[in-house]
Structure 1
């Protein structure tokens, strides 16, 4: 998702309802969509950290939420910044317009203004660049490191492969907190792995300080025992294992998707994302959706925590742009 809001982008989406008939939810009119997303992340953080002390909360994109106004000149959104442990940012130096192309300097500067607010508040910045050329990959790691960011140069936007080269800033340390990580692997699409065993073997053969992955492979959830194995680096160190979870879109291939929704969706499910078929914008402030994500005892978040993950990587944070 792009961080800058253009009217032409808004026209790509249709079906955004201006009212919400759900019981217990206010009308969309006059909503503060940014604050609604902050509140959702804060709620997830409060529950997760109560269940698992030290559990990392990392929103991806939607970096404007770090200030109260959504402008880099605004005051830091302290409650939100205190609730998170890091920010993930895609396309920071490469990939904004096209993969393996330099992101416009104006975009990088815009993003950096917000990212540094979060970094200065004590959070870790995870920068994801989509580049494959050796020179650009090298520059991505070196420049992000100079900014004080931890980065991953993804050779494929589908995030389905482990780079052939060793991690930058490779080390044998035992990593117990996100702030200690010097590198990370972003591998949320396991399509190239025939089984969980294959996936585990491939990841444990690496020395990344953290891995961001999905809870499922071929619709089968990883167990606590399997997540424990994944925390082992090949060199004897330990890593963090962080689970991806989309909170701004519902995905029709997830366990929570009901077959009846294919013909008659709840009114809190909005338009399908034209760039990612099967992903639908949701009214993320809705009670039913928040129950699925974190409020219920059998919520997505509960499944992630009980599986032994060290944190959660929250995607589609920038869903507020669609509703705005």
Structure 2
């Protein structure tokens, strides 16, 4: 299998060498199957709670085939459990932001994305570019493949792009399913907003069909069902979907579930810190203790998302299986 995170994994292992000396690669674990099973479990649980709830994994697209190879057969159970795929850096940003992704890397990713798309899943592409001509190119290329895209000017995902001035594929339609989405906004870092009201006002002044956001404001305040209902209204009177971001391959020490004692004595299922994103730790995502944090009871992360009446969940760090495969 071609592993796109190889360089990142190497840097992670080097940067965390002292921390990972005592961490041994678990034996007898099929990391690819465990991640597929985790996503399927999340999907089955969430859809049982809310009809029409969308489940969208980001990256780790190789899991759509049974052997995670381009030549592999479709993994039908996994593909049937999800409603779309998020893919970063497909045409811009893979090696460097605002730089075109190599055609070989794009074609490799597209071989999996097209398989998922052919079976009815919506493809959401986030390209990282900030030069207008490159942003235009990103939108044009993605549209030629019937992918819905967002040209993100900052990888921090903390601002609303001010280009193009006229929103790509802007419309006043009522959007209630992924198949109707023609554009989207990816804004999961609300640190530039002083309060929920300012965040809501800025979003409702836009006409994006889909918003991908965080459950929490930067001060730890949770967005409520009433907030989400307001966020669904586009400026032109149409309606949008509101999807919530959730990482399932890394634990984040700024989340409500992180226990103070873990700063000194981490659970055995916490592996190493991601050097590119301080405070984010690779986890043994197949571990039941971690799964209990993610879903299954009132205080679980996914359950909080469901309580806030989001229209779906955007699952990140799906490609964590690559980290463990390469230990």
The answer to whether TM tops 0.5 is yes
CA distance in 1 between counterparts of 2:9 and 2:269 reads 21
CA positional deviation for 1:72:
1.1
Q: Which runs of 5+ in 2 are unaligned?
A: none
CA distance in 2 between counterparts of 1:18 and 1:262 reads 20
Q: Does structure 2 retain, via aligned residues, the 8 Å contact 1:209–1:238?
A: yes
1:202-217 counterparts in 2 under 5 A? Answer: 202-217=202-217
Q: Provide the residue aligned with 1:24 in structure 2.
A: none
Cα 1:169–1:315 shift into 2, 3 Å: same
The list of structure 1 runs, each at least 4 consecutive aligned residues, that deviate by more than 4 angstroms after superposition, is none
**Alignment partner of 1:319 is 2:325:** no
CA distance in 2 between counterparts of 1:319 and 1:238 reads 34
Q: Provide the residue aligned with 2:186 in structure 1.
A: 186
Deviations 1:273-320 (A, max 9, x none): 010000000000000100000123321001001101000000000000
CA distance in 1 between counterparts of 2:85 and 2:287 reads 24
Cα 1:5–1:160 shift into 2, 3 Å: closer
Q: Does structure 2 retain, via aligned residues, the 8 Å contact 1:160–1:188?
A: yes
Q: Provide the residue aligned with 2:57 in structure 1.
A: 59
TM-score by length of 2: 0.94
Deviations 1:1-34 (A, max 9, x none): x951437733532428336xxxxxxxx2121101
Q: Secondary structure at the match of 1:30?
A: coil
**Considering only aligned residues, what root-mean-square deviation do their CA atoms show, in Å?**
1.4
Q: Provide the residue aligned with 2:33 in structure 1.
A: 35
CA positional deviation for 1:170:
0.4
Q: Provide the residue aligned with 1:228 in structure 2.
A: 229
CA positional deviation for 1:191:
1.0
Cα 1:8–1:87 shift into 2, 3 Å: closer
1:170-181 counterparts in 2 under 5 A? Answer: 170-181=170-181
CA distance in 1 between counterparts of 2:8 and 2:96 reads 18
Cα 1:155–1:7 shift into 2, 3 Å: closer
CA distance in 2 between counterparts of 1:3 and 1:181 reads 30
**Alignment partner of 1:70 is 2:51:** no
**Aligned length in residues:** 315
Q: Provide the residue aligned with 1:25 in structure 2.
A: none
Q: Secondary structure at the match of 1:216?
A: coil
Q: Does structure 2 retain, via aligned residues, the 8 Å contact 1:166–1:206?
A: no
CA distance in 1 between counterparts of 2:7 and 2:205 reads 46
Q: Does structure 2 retain, via aligned residues, the 8 Å contact 1:166–1:207?
A: no
CA distance in 1 between counterparts of 2:92 and 2:118 reads 23
Q: Does structure 1 retain, via aligned residues, the 8 Å contact 2:298–2:304?
A: no
Q: Which runs of 5+ in 1 are unaligned?
A: 20-27
CA positional deviation for 1:163:
1.3
Q: Provide the residue aligned with 2:168 in structure 1.
A: 168
**Alignment partner of 1:48 is 2:33:** no
| Of 157, 160, 174, the match for 1:159 | 157
Q: Does structure 2 retain, via aligned residues, the 8 Å contact 1:3–1:62?
A: no
CA distance in 1 between counterparts of 2:71 and 2:55 reads 24
Cα 1:195–1:3 shift into 2, 3 Å: farther
Q: Secondary structure at the match of 2:277?
A: coil
CA distance in 2 between counterparts of 1:3 and 1:245 reads 23
Q: Provide the residue aligned with 2:199 in structure 1.
A: 199
1:1-324 counterparts in 2 under 5 A? Answer: 4-6=4-6, 9-10=9-10, 12-13=12-13, 14=17, 15=20, 17-18=23-24, 28-164=26-162, 165-217=165-217, 218-324=219-325
